[in-house]
Structures are given as C-alpha cells and as structure tokens.
Amino acid sequence: MKARAWLPGFFCWLLSCAGSAAAHEHHHPHHHWESVQLRGELWVQIWGLAAVLVGLAVWRMLERKRLQGES
Amino acid sequence: MNRLRQIYAISKVSYLENLRKQVLQVVLILTIAVIGSTTLLTFFDLGVQIKILKDLSMAAILLCGGVLAVVLSVGSIPSEISSHTAYPTLARAMHRSDWVLGKYLGTVATCMVCMAALAVVFVGIIAGYTHSVDTAVLTGMAFVSLEVALLAAVGTFFSLFTSPMVAGTLTLAVFAMGQIKTGFLHAAIERANGAASKVLLQVFYYALPNLDTFNFKDALVHGLPVPPAYMLMVAVYGLLYTAVLVGVSGLVFARRDI
C-alpha cells in the first residue's frame, strides 16, 4: 500500500521536472559547456567552497586542541 | 586505520538497511520499465530511436537516483535517532562526524548500486541495437552519479535540522532549483529593483548548487565534444560541494545534544 501511494507522487514529480527542464531548454538553447559566464561562476563557487573547506578544517583542528587542553 | 574500519562498518550496515526498503524496489522497477519502454518505439528510424533511448534513459536514471538520494538520505539519520539504535554505536569511542560520514556513504552506495544496475540495462539495450558499447554513456553516468552524491549530501545536511518530511521537501526544492538555476535565478537577479534584493538573490544564486552543469545528456545524445578541462572543473566542483556539506553535517551533528 505504501509503495502504491508513492506512484502518483513519483509521476507528478517526473512531469514537473520535465516541465522545468523544457522551460529551461527553451530559455537557454546553448549548451552549458560553451558558456564563458557559467565557467566564471563555477570558478567563483569552486574557490568559495575550497575556502569553506579549509576554514572547516582549521576550526576542527582548533576545537580538538581546545578539548585536549581542557582534559 | 581504525577510523576507516568504523566508517566502513557504519556504511555497510546503512547500505544493507537501505536495500531492504520498499521504495527502492518500486523506483527501480519503474525506471527499468521506463527504459525498457523505449524499445517499443519501433515506428521511428533506428538513429532517432537510439537518440530517444539515450535521452529518456539518462533522464530516468537521474530521476531514479535523485528520488533515492532524497528518500534515503533524509530518513537515514533521524530514524536511527528516534528508534534509539544510534546510541550504542555513538557511545563507543568513535567520532560523531565519522558516524555521519558512514551513514552518508551507505546511502550513496545504495544509490550507486541501483544506478549501476540501470546503466547495465541501458547500455545493454544500446549494445543490442548498435552492437558496440558507447563509452560516452559511462562519462554521462559518472556525472549523474556525482550529482546524486551531491543531492544525498544536501539531504543528509537538512535531515540534521528538521523532520524527514521537511528535509525531503527542501532537498527536492534544491534539486529543482539547481536544475533551472542559470535560467530562472539569473533572470530574477537582472530584473531585481533594489540593491538589497539583488545582493540577496546573488548570495542565493552562488550558494545553490548548479546541478545543470552535471548534465551532459545533449553531448551524449548528439555526439557533441565537451572540453575535458570543463569536465574536470565540474567534477572538482561536485566533489568540493559534497565534501563541504558532509563536513558541515559532521560538525553540526558533533555539537548536537542527542
């Protein structure tokens, strides 16, 4: 019964995604790997994510040192 | 080494648990039916039929992986907490972030196994028509897998803050917005009147994962060349985004009072 209850939802989701994709395709007929602007945005995101990752590592290291100091 | 063994044990248990879920079997059977139904389109030329087969199958595999990533990732951690089965494991000398990583890897492994099974069906049907194996399919599948892994990380992250239902809805929203981000949000930024709303939309734009970049379906269907440097850039982007989300999830869970 549970599995059957998922079916209409799955198909609705399938249709909505197809609609979104079709709308996107209509507005942007060019392939994304040809867009210079998108490549620039990706670089910004990559550097931002790398900075966050380094920040997380440093924070974790400091936290571990603090806990070691407390014990 | 001990930590790796612990992470492996958690992910293995999580993977075996996921395999028993009914939703997995239903989604898998439905997707195989969608892929198999393309063989019925015999009224098209063979070339057109293969293009439709590639297009539809890649979309179906992405949807299957997406649904599985959302459903499995948002329920994985909260169900263990609510049923108290996580407590004996967490009481042992193991990092909580390792436990989150193990649960995440178990979810991703389940999605990958299902997608690999679908890929075998997909490649098998194409090979049946063309009598050769299309290697571009494997590249396309690799990026779809990366997208699904990222989505599972988003689901795991949201599941630490809210109920599985809300986390699932939020993850689905990220999935949908990530697909139409460049087309929809970019236009919204250009149309925004106030400076504050423009900045807010820009922050939202850069914070959202750009899931459309993982889509190489057009290249696969029409045989278009994609620069390897761009593919490498997208792969690095996906891995970094996933690593950040899993890292933050680990930190959040480590500080949580359970």
- Pairwise CB contact (< 8 Å): A43 & B233: yes
Q: What is the DSSP letter of B194?
A: S
Sign of CA dihedral A47, A49, B209, B52: positive
Q: Residue B225 in 3-state DSSP?
A: coil
Which pLDDT belongs to residue A12?
Answer: 66
B128 Cβ contact list (under 8 Å, min separation 6)? none
- E-only strand ranges, chain B: none
As a whole number of angstroms, the distance between CA A52 and CA A58 comes to 10
Nearest-by-CA chain B residue for A30: B218
Q: What is the DSSP letter of B40?
A: G
> What does pTM read for this prediction?
0.85
Sign of CA dihedral B252, B5, B109, B106: negative
pLDDT-based confidence at residue B197 (cuts at 50, 70, 90): confident
With 0-12 / 13-18 / 19 or more C-beta atoms within 10 angstroms meaning exposed / middle / buried, residue B102 is: buried
What proportion of chain B, given as a percentage, has pLDDT over 70? Answer: 98
pLDDT at B165 over 90: no
pLDDT at B31 over 60: yes
- Mean pLDDT for the stretch of residues A34-44: 84
- Mean pLDDT for the stretch of residues B128-153: 89
pLDDT at B8 over 60: yes
Q: What is the pLDDT of residues B42-82, one digit of tens each?
A: 777 777 888 888 888 899 999 999 999 999 999 889 888 88
Which pLDDT belongs to residue B196?
Answer: 87
With 0-12 / 13-18 / 19 or more C-beta atoms within 10 angstroms meaning exposed / middle / buried, residue B174 is: buried
Nearest-by-CA chain B residue for A57: B247
B108 Cβ contact list (under 8 Å, min separation 6)? B69, B148, B149, B152
Whole-angstrom Cα Rg for chain A: 23
Q: What is the pLDDT of residues B217-246, one digit of tens each?
A: 778 777 788 888 999 999 999 999 999 999
Which residues of B are less than 8 Å from A38 in CB distance? 182, 210, 213
The ipTM estimated for the assembled molecules is: 0.82
Q: What is the DSSP string of A17-57?
A: HHHHHHHHHHH--S-GGG-HHHHHHHHHHHHHHHHHHHHHH
As a whole number of angstroms, the distance between CA B238 and CA A38 comes to 15
- Pairwise CB contact (< 8 Å): A44 & B206: yes
Q: How far is CA A16 from the centre of its chain?
A: 19
Minimum-distance CB partner of B206 among A10, A48, A50: A48
The shortest C-alpha distance from B14 to chain A (Å) reads 21
Interchain CB contact of B176 with A (< 8 Å): yes
Work out how many CB contacts closer than 8 A connect A with B. Answer: 94
Q: If we measure between CA atoms, which residue out of B248, B186, B169 comes closest to residue A35?
A: B186
As a whole number of angstroms, the distance between CA B52 and CA B38 comes to 7
Which pLDDT belongs to residue B18?
Answer: 92
